[in-house]
């Protein structure tokens, strides 16, 4: 997910933000910060969200479209042998993604819970 996001930011002049709840595996906080800084130079804003605690898997690609799935977009690849191991729903509605992202940002800022 990170490489396509970086490509979109650089070649399509897209505004790209990635959010995560906590680093996984052997990635330290300092390593995550270094990666975030390097990605910001490439046009991708990677932001941790500590409050509210999130476990959502959402991909929004314009103001009107988003997908909510069981796939961990930033840390997993879907299995090639178990093609139906993940499930999701695509939502296309006027400003659906925009409203979702705004509410996420407000919750992140502590304005709503």
For residue 76, what pLDDT band results from cuts at 50, 70 and 90? low
Q: Which residue has the higher pLDDT, 21 or 11?
A: 11
How many CA atoms lie within 13 Å of 51's alpha carbon, on the beta-carbon side?
5
The percent helix, strand, coil of the chain (3-state, each to 5) is: 30, 20, 50
Please report which confidence band the pLDDT of residue 77 belongs to, taking 50, 70 and 90 as the band edges: low
Question: Residue 44 belongs to what H/E stretch?
Answer: strand 44-48
pTM over 0.75: no
Of 56, 58, 51, 47, the C-alpha closest to 23 is 47
**pLDDT tens, residue by residue, 12-61:** 877 888 887 766 677 787 888 888 899 899 899 888 777 777 777 888 88
DSSP element (H, E) containing 20: strand 16-20
């Amino acid at each position: 997910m990170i490489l396509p996001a970086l490509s979109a930011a650089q070649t399509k002049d897209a505004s790209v933000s990635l959010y995560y709840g906590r680093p996984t595996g052997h990635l330290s906080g300092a390593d995550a910060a270094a990666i975030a800084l390097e990605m910001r130079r490439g046009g991708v804003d990677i932001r941790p969200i500590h409050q509210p605690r999130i476990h959502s898997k959402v991909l929004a690609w314009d103001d009107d479209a988003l997908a909510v799935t069981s796939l961990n977009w930033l840390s997993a690849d879907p299995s090639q042998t178990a093609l139906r191991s993940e499930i999701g729903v695509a939502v296309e509605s006027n400003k659906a993604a925009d409203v979702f992202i705004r509410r996420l940002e407000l919750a992140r800022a502590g304005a709503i819970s």
